[in-house]
Amino acid sequence: MTGLWYALLGLLFAAYFGLAGLDYGVGMLARHLGRDEREKRLALATVGPFFLGNEVWLVAAIGAMFGAFPLMEGEFLGSRPVLFAVLLCGLVAFTAAVQLRSRGKNVGAFDAVIALGALVTVIGWGAVLGEVLQDDGGLPNWFSLLCGLVLAVLALLHGAAFLAWRGTPELKARAKGVLSAGTLPALIGVALVTVTGIFTVDVAQPIVLIAGAVVIAGAVLLAGRSSRAGLALTGSAAAITLPVLVIGLAKLPYVAGHLTVAQAATGEDALTLLTIAAAPMVPVLLAFQAVTWWLWRRRATPLFY
C-alpha cells in the first residue's frame, strides 16, 4: 500500500507539472510573443479554459502527501520555509494577475507581473526538485538554482509547444522559433544537472538519474525538432514531467535525509482508509480534465484576460 501511494504521489505531481507548466510557459511568453494587445490576449486565452483546473492537481498532490506521508511533509517542507514562501508568492501573483489583467488600467504592469510570477514559480519548483535530490537540509544553493533555471527553460519550451499547437498562425510561427532556440539551452541544462548530481549528490540510484536524463534529452529534441505540433507538445510534456518521476525513483528508498518511504508513511490502516476515499476521486479528476479539454478542443478566443 505504501508503494502504491508513493507512485500516486509522483503521478499527481507529474500531472501538475505537465498541466500547470502550460500556464507558466505561456505566461512567460505571452508578453513577448504577442505584438499587440489582441495577440497577448489570444496567447493567454489558449490556456484560459484550463487555467484553474490545472492547479487542482497541486491541491491533490499536497493532500496526498499530507495524508499518506506526514513525516515527509514535516521533514522537507518545514525545514525550507523561505523557499516555499517565495514560491507561493510567485504563484499567487501569477494567478491573480492573469485573472485581473483586463480589469485594470495598466495592462502592461499586469503583463510584467504575469511573466515574473510565472518565472518565480517555475524556478521555485525547480529549486524544490534540486533540494529533494541533494537533500542537504539547508538553504537553497547554486545547485537548487541551476535546477530552477533548467526547469524554467523546460517550461518555456512547453509553453511554446502549446502555442505552436493551439495558437493563432502568427503565434504559432513565433512559438516555433522559441522551440528551435530553446532546444540547445535545455539540453545543456539537463546535462549540467545530471553530471553535477552524479558527482556532488549522494543519489541512491544513480543509474536511474542517468537513464532519466537521456530520456528527458530525447523528449527535448522531439519538442524542438519535430515539424508536427502535436509531437512537439508530447515531447515538451514528457520533458517537464519526467524530472519529478526520475528524482523520486533515484532517491529510493529514501525521501528525506535518512527517512525511508516506509518510515515517512502513515499506518497501513490509515492508508487503507485513504485508498477507499481516493478511489472514486482520481477518476473524477481525470474525467473533469478530459471533459474540459474536449469542450475547449477548438482554439479559444479572448475571455476575460
Considering the domain boundaries, does residue 135 fall inside one? yes
Considering the domain boundaries, does residue 304 fall inside one? no
Positive or negative torsion for Cα 74, 80, 85, 90: negative
Considering the domain boundaries, does residue 116 fall inside one? yes
pLDDT tens digits, one per residue of 99-113: 888 776 788 899 999
Would you state the cell numbers that stand for residue 187, as one nine-digit string? 539540453
103: burial class by Cβ within 10 Å (0-12, 13-18, 19+)? exposed
Considering the domain boundaries, does residue 300 fall inside one? no
Secondary structure element (H or E) that encloses residue 71, with its range? helix 70-72
pLDDT tens digits, one per residue of 13-68: 999 999 999 999 999 999 999 888 888 988 998 888 888 888 889 999 999 998 88
Considering the domain boundaries, does residue 228 fall inside one? yes
Give the pLDDT of residue 176: 94
* pLDDT range class, residue 2, cuts 50, 70, 90: confident
* pLDDT range class, residue 203, cuts 50, 70, 90: confident
Considering the domain boundaries, does residue 105 fall inside one? yes
Secondary structure element (H or E) that encloses residue 259, with its range? strand 259-260
Domain that holds residue 196: 2-295
Considering the domain boundaries, does residue 244 fall inside one? yes
Considering the domain boundaries, does residue 49 fall inside one? yes
Query: How many domains would you assign to the chain?
Result: 1
Q: Which of 265, 18, 296, 3 is nearest to 159 (CA)?
A: 18
pTM > 0.95 = no
CATH number, position 270: 1.20.1630
